[in-house]
Amino acid sequence: MTQPAIPESSTTAGTSLSRDAWRRLRRDWAAMAALVTLVVVVMLAIVTPLLP
């Protein structure tokens, strides 16, 4: 019994869900445009009440 009962398999580095989602988002230009628009609207909603 010199061999292990369970052979060791080579492990591959997986990607996290957030990394995969970010990669897919960057490839889609319409999604990036929507993200930029959303960020601009949120920033305007935060800054507008502070303006005189």
* C-alpha to C-alpha distance for 18 and 39, rounded to whole angstroms: 19
Residue 44 sits in which domain range? 19-50
* C-alpha to C-alpha distance for 17 and 25, rounded to whole angstroms: 12
3-state secondary structure of 4: coil
Quick check: is 46 in a domain? Answer: yes
Quick check: is 29 in a domain? Answer: yes
Quick check: is 8 in a domain? Answer: no
pLDDT at position 11 is 65
Q: Give me 26's structure tokens.
A: 């960057």
Q: Give me 29's structure tokens.
A: 């230009």
pLDDT (tens digit per residue) in 8-50: 666 667 789 999 999 998 999 999 999 999 999 999 999 999 9
| 6 DSSP assignment | S
pLDDT at position 9 is 65
Residue with tokens 């628009």: 37
User: How many domains does the structure of the chain reveal?
Assistant: 1
